[in-house]
Amino acid sequence: MTCHCAEIITPGLLDLFDARQRLIDTATPINTVETITLEQSAGRVLAETLLAPLDMPGVDNSAMDGYALCLADYQAAPGGAGLPILQRVPAGAGVMLLPKGGCARIFTGAPVPMGADIIVPQERVTLDQRGHIHLEGSLVLGANIRRQGEETRIGTPLLAGGKLLDAASIALLASHGINAVTVKRRLRVALLSTGDELIAPGTARSPGQVYDSNRAMLNVLLAQAQCDVLDLGVIADSPQSLHQAFEHAQSVADVVMCTGGVSVGEEDHVRPVIEQRGGLHFHGVAMKPGKPFAFGYLGAEPSSSTPLMALPGNPVASLVGWQLLALPFIHAMQGRAVAALQRYPVKAGFSQRGPQGRCELLRVLMDWSQGAPVAQLAGGQGSHMLSAASQAHGYLMINPATQVTEGATYHYYPINQFAA
Ligand code: AMP
Ligand code: MG
């Protein structure tokens, strides 16, 4: 999936989708696994494909509250006499034998008695004075019987390795009686902010100082992505401080993530320090916001080193860089199947000048008041403006050298796809 805009992106910048693919392709999934209880497994990544230990359903059972019978017996009853109720089968009962010449009262989930070939829902059954049942509506052999193994046969794949264990997957495993799973170990990510201007929320701000919002944000995002975060705090804008911080980070984490100092200004020391301590895969992505994204490694050679992602300092650039580039890399490192980006066409409810040299991700709200969705700007679009990012439902992707025209259609990327 590329935006096919290689000829119109700024030279030296990598296409956003190419950058994303390079990150995914470069990731080496962690191979350490652990076995944990199903209760502890929410959000973990299944390490191996699980085969169904059982047929599901385990036995032919009733899909309705009603009556189980042999259709031929009912049709053969002389003079339309109906059938007497000779048996009662609640859920939890064993498999019974249907008494000849009669029917069974049966409840949802209860095993179909042997000899019965149809369940008739109670709404379509009337009882006469003798207590015999009479049926209404069409009678189809096999109706309302959930067949043994119709969903899953024993020994067939149940969940693939790399699957994130969410509530439905955990329920599926529980339904097969599984109470322990082998999962990948959690990823350790070292997180650091760079910038002499940064101060901690809760302290007083002097003119020129900036609260460190990126670390607050990335702590949340990494935790939501099931990473163990090693928060290394704020690192000063000097090569020595960065050398020290990266040396430590590299020794304790699977992945290093930093923000700020990754442009090409005189105070931007991140890139040269990465190059001295390891190397760069790429620096600069044709996206707005998010251009100064760098991907590299700390260590002698890429294969035996610690990957590092340097996110831009501007808060919205950092957020978008995380969502589109860092998150799929983290998923790939976790051994998780990386989901394709979800996007769909949506009309813009506004016109404005388009981006030059890179794709723009406009923070938008979806307005459903007219029936079909229309994208409206969620607020100011500066890469330092968190207000719009905090309100937006998604991004409208505008290709380089493309105007935004009210009523025209663009790709919309819902933000909730980046939630985990
Ligand atoms: P830089 O990439 O270091 O040049 O930073 C670009 C802009 O982002 C500057 O206005 C910084 O003050 C701001 N910035 C950098 N790091 C952070 C951070 N951790 N939290 C909030 N703003 C930041
Ligand atoms: Mg800086």
pLDDT tens figures, 165-207: 999 999 999 999 999 999 999 999 999 999 999 999 999 999 9
SS (H, E, C) 307-355: EEEEECCCHHHHHHHHHHHHHHHHHHHCCCCCCCCCCEEEEECCCECCC
3-state SS assignment for residue 94: coil
Relative to the CA of 237, which ligand 1 atom is closest? 3
Q: Which region, left, alpha or beta, applies to residue 300 given φ > 0 means left and ψ of -120 to 50 means alpha?
A: alpha
Using CB distances shorter than 6 Å, the residues near ligand 1 are 193, 195, 197-198, 210, 212-215, 259-263, 312-315, 384
Tell the residue nearest (CA) to atom 15 of ligand 1. Answer: 313
Ligand 2 centroid vs 216 CA: distance in angstroms? 16
Ligand 1 centroid vs 288 CA: distance in angstroms? 16
Burial state string for 286-311 with b = 16 or more CB within 10 A and e = fewer than 16: bbbbbbbbbbbbbeeeeeebbbbbbb
| For the CA of 259, the nearest ligand | 1
User: Model-level pTM?
Assistant: 0.94
Residues 34-56+152-183, CATH architecture: Alpha-Beta Complex (3.90)
Q: Beta partners for 88? A: 105
SS3 breakdown of the chain: % helix, strand, coil, rounded to 5? Answer: 25, 30, 45
pLDDT tens figures, 112-148: 999 999 999 999 999 999 999 999 999 999 999 999 9
Element (H, E) at 276: helix 270-277
Q: Which region, left, alpha or beta, applies to residue 89 given φ > 0 means left and ψ of -120 to 50 means alpha?
A: beta
| Cβ proximity of 343 and 359 under 8 Å | no
Name the band, by pLDDT with cuts 50, 70 and 90, for residue 1: very low
Q: 8-12, 53-57, 184-188, 204-208: which has the minimum mean pLDDT?
A: 8-12
Q: How many Å apart are CA 267 and CA 237, to the nearest integer?
A: 6
Name the band, by pLDDT with cuts 50, 70 and 90, for residue 5: low
- Tokens 């991700």 correspond to 361
Strand-strand pairing, 188-194 and 228-235: parallel
Q: How many Å apart are CA 65 and CA 140, to the nearest integer?
A: 17
List the chain domain ranges.
5-32+186-333, 34-56+152-183, 61-146, 344-418
Q: What is the fold of 61-146?
A: Molybdopterin biosynthesis moeA protein; domain 3 (2.170.190)
Relative to the CA of 194, which ligand 1 atom is closest? 16
Percentage of residues in the chain with pLDDT exceeding 90? 96
pLDDT at 234: 98
Name the band, by pLDDT with cuts 50, 70 and 90, for residue 80: very high
pLDDT at 156: 98
Taken in order 136, 142, 143, 147, is the CA torsion positive or negative? Answer: positive
Ligand 1 centroid vs 262 CA: distance in angstroms? 10
pLDDT tens figures, 95-111: 999 999 999 999 999 99
> Within a 10 A sphere around the Cβ of 201, how many other Cβ atoms?
10
Name the band, by pLDDT with cuts 50, 70 and 90, for residue 294: very high
Tell the residue nearest (CA) to atom 5 of ligand 1. Answer: 313
Is the predicted pLDDT of residue 238 greater than 80, yes or no?
yes
Ligand 1 centroid vs 314 CA: distance in angstroms? 5
| For the CA of 258, the nearest ligand | 1
pLDDT at 303: 81
∠ CA 276-278-282, nearest 5°, is 100
Stretch 21-32: mean pLDDT: 97
Q: What is the fold of 344-418?
A: Beta-clip (2.40.340)
Q: How many Å apart are CA 219 and CA 256, to the nearest integer?
A: 13
Ligand 1 centroid vs 213 CA: distance in angstroms? 9
pLDDT at 90: 97
Tell the residue nearest (CA) to atom 11 of ligand 1. Answer: 313
pLDDT at 304: 85
Give the closest residue to 124 by CA, choosing from 102, 140, 109, 146.
Answer: 140
| Cβ proximity of 365 and 415 under 8 Å | no
Stretch 63-90: mean pLDDT: 97
Q: How many Å apart are CA 194 and CA 183, to the nearest integer?
A: 34
Q: Which region, left, alpha or beta, applies to residue 328 given φ > 0 means left and ψ of -120 to 50 means alpha?
A: alpha
Structure tokens at 142: 């096999």
Name the band, by pLDDT with cuts 50, 70 and 90, for residue 302: confident
DSSP letter string, 222-241: HHHTTPEEEEEEEE-SSHHH
Looking at the chain, the number of H-run helices and the number of E-run strands are 9, 26
Relative to the CA of 215, which ligand 1 atom is closest? 19
Q: How many Å apart are CA 13 and CA 288, to the nearest integer?
A: 11
pLDDT tens figures, 373-388: 999 999 999 999 999 9
Relative to the CA of 213, which ligand 1 atom is closest? 20
Residues 5-32+186-333, CATH architecture: 3-Layer(aba) Sandwich (3.40)
Structure tokens at 113: 């008695």
Q: What is the mean pLDDT of the chain?
A: 96
Element (H, E) at 221: helix 213-224
Ligand 1 centroid vs 164 CA: distance in angstroms? 33
